[in-house]
Each structure stands twice: as C-alpha cells, then as structure tokens.
Amino acid sequence: MAINWFKYSAPTTFYGLAGKLIPWFAVPAVILFAIGLYIGFAVAPIDATQGEYYRIIFIHVPASILSMFLYMIMAGYAALGLIFNTRLSAMMASAIAPTGALFAFISLWTGALWGKPTWGVWWLWDARMTSELILLFLYLGFIALHASIDDPRRADRASALLAIVGSVNVPIIYFSVKWWNTLHQGSTIKFTGTSMHVAMQQAMFTMFAACWLYAAAVVLMRVRSIILERERNTTWIAELPEVKR
C-alpha cells in the first residue's frame, strides 16, 4: 500500500485508524470462528486412533501458534520502540502482551485436556509444553516489569529490552527442552497415516485465521485505551467526541 506509513506512527492518527479497523477484524473473526467450529465438529471425521478427542486441536494449535507469533510481534514493536524512540511502538507492545499471555494460557489448558485422553496424563514435561509454560512466564514478566515502573518512558524501554532478551531465549529454551525430553515431537500435525484429512486442515486453518483476527481486534481496542491514558493531557484528546459527551 503506497500510503505514508509514518502518518500512522503518531498516536493521534493511529487512534482513529485503529477505531475504524476494529469492526473489520472483529466481525470476520466471529464468522470464521463459527465456520471453523462447524467444519471441525460437523464435517471432519472421527480420527482412527484418537476418536473425538482430537477435535481439541482446532483451538489448541491456533492458540499455541498465535501465542508465539504474538510474542515475536511484541518483541518487534519493542525493538522498533527502542531504535526509533516511537511511543506508539511501545504502546503496541504493551497492548499485545496480555492477549499473548492469554493465548499461551489457552494453549496450555487445552493442551493438558488433549493430553489426558491421548497420553493418559494431564501434564508432560516435553519440549513444546515446557517451552509454552516458559513463554507464559516471559509474557507475565514483561507485564510485571512494565507495571512496576512508574515513569512511563523507563517502563516502556525496560520492558522492551526484556522482551527482546526473551525472544532471543525462546529458541534456546525450545531446543534445550527438546534435547531434554522428546515426547510431544511425533504427535502434532501428523494423524491417521501420512496426512491430515482435508476437512481437518480446513478447520484448523479457519480457526487460526479466526484467532488471528480476534487478536488483532482486541489488541487494537486495547491500544486505543493505552493511547487515551498516555495522551490524556493533550488537546486532541479533549476534542474527541467520546470525551466531549
């Protein structure tokens, strides 16, 4: 898109843009969620080895992927904020963190529920689950650090540095845990035979898109609140219709 990117790097203009974008993410998210669940439950067949229980993956896998994806985006915004000193980048990082943490939680919870009927235990210290748990800790650390610092500028920059250090560590953690115990390895996308049934793939992809759109909508909503909080003393905020009411 040949628009002036830097126009939207100012909180003032981004606030408006975000507001307009939210319904475009939120409504398709709900629709795709419904479609995904329909395909996942009504169309996709029973799995030969796991029966009905495998259907948990339609929320578990998207949540897992998204929790990692969101962390990298958060770290990216953190880096932008540190390098270019843009306030909005730091605000976006702060907006993403809670959503990422919640997806990590959903991933762990649904993972445990899938593990019980499949492997017989609620929890396993395998590479993926352990790394996901640590990812949750990294998110929580980011949120805690930001909340503990009163000066917003220092808070932004300190948590940004933490996010970047964490992102470097995520692959290290993953490989160290994988070395340490490899059980989860064989059982994710591969199912009955060599490939997944088409309907399963469709459901998975639809749900992933739905979760991604949901995340975008929620993050944009949150960042608008953050912008309001940070810029509360400015005149442009005072001129907003929702404030003047």
Partner 1 sequence: MGIELWMRENPMTYIWLGSYAVSMLVFAIEIVMVINRRKNTLNQIRMMRNSGDNE
Partner 2 sequence: MKKASMFSLFVLVVRRDLVLAMRRRADVLTTLIFFVMVVSLFPLGVGPEASMLRKMAPGVLWVAALLSSMLSLGRLFSADYLDGTLEQMMLVPQSLSMMVLGKMTAHWLVSGLPLVLMAPILGVQFDMTAETLGILIVGLLLGTPILSMLGAIGAALTLGLRGGGVLLSLLVLPLCIPVLIFGAGAVEAVATGLEATAHLSLIGALLVLTLAFTPWVTAQALRISME
Taking each helix axis from N to C terminus, what angle separates 57-84 and 198-230, rounded to the nearest 10 degrees?
40
Q: Which does 6 bind (CB under 5 to 8 A by kind): partner 2, partner 1, none?
A: none
Span between the terminal Cα atoms of the chain, in Å: 35
200 counts as binding partner 1 under rule CB under 8 A: no
The one segment of 83-91, 102-110, 140-148, 170-178 that binds partner 1 by CB under 8 A: 102-110
Dist. CA 2–CA 153, nearest whole Å: 32
* Between 100 and 166, CB nearer to partner 1: 100
Q: Which does 90 bind (CB under 5 to 8 A by kind): partner 2, partner 1, none?
A: none
* Between 1 and 42, CB nearer to partner 1: 42
Dist. CA 14–CA 142, nearest whole Å: 24
**How many residues in the shown chain lie near partner 1 by CB under 8 A?**
34
* Between 18 and 82, CB nearer to partner 1: 18
34 counts as binding partner 1 under rule CB under 8 A: no
- State the residues that interact with partner 2 by CB under 8 A: 134, 137-138, 140-141, 144-145, 148-149, 153-154, 157-158, 161-162, 165-166, 169, 172-173, 176-177, 179-180
Angle, alpha carbons 182-193-177 (nearest 5°): 10
Q: Which of 32, 39, 61, 63 binds partner 1 (CB under 8 A)?
A: 63
238 counts as binding partner 1 under rule CB under 8 A: yes
222 counts as binding partner 1 under rule CB under 8 A: yes
Cβ neighbors of 139 (< 8 A, separation 6 or more) are 71, 97, 100, 101, 104
Q: Which does 114 bind (CB under 5 to 8 A by kind): partner 1, partner 2, none?
A: partner 1
Q: Which of 11, 32, 44, 55 binds partner 1 (CB under 8 A)?
A: 55
Q: Of the candidates 233, 197, 171, 220, which has an alpha carbon nearest to the alpha carbon of residue 23? A: 220
Reduced to 3 states (helix: H, G, I; strand: E, B; else coil), residue 182 is coil
The strand ranges marked E within 31-131 are none
Asked if 150 and 112 touch (Cβ cutoff 8 Å), the reply is no
Dist. CA 60–CA 40, nearest whole Å: 13
37 counts as binding partner 1 under rule CB under 8 A: yes
Dist. CA 153–CA 144, nearest whole Å: 15
* Between 122 and 175, CB nearer to partner 1: 122
245 counts as binding partner 1 under rule CB under 8 A: yes
For residue 68, the minimal CB distance to partner 2 (Å) is: 15
Dist. CA 218–CA 170, nearest whole Å: 24
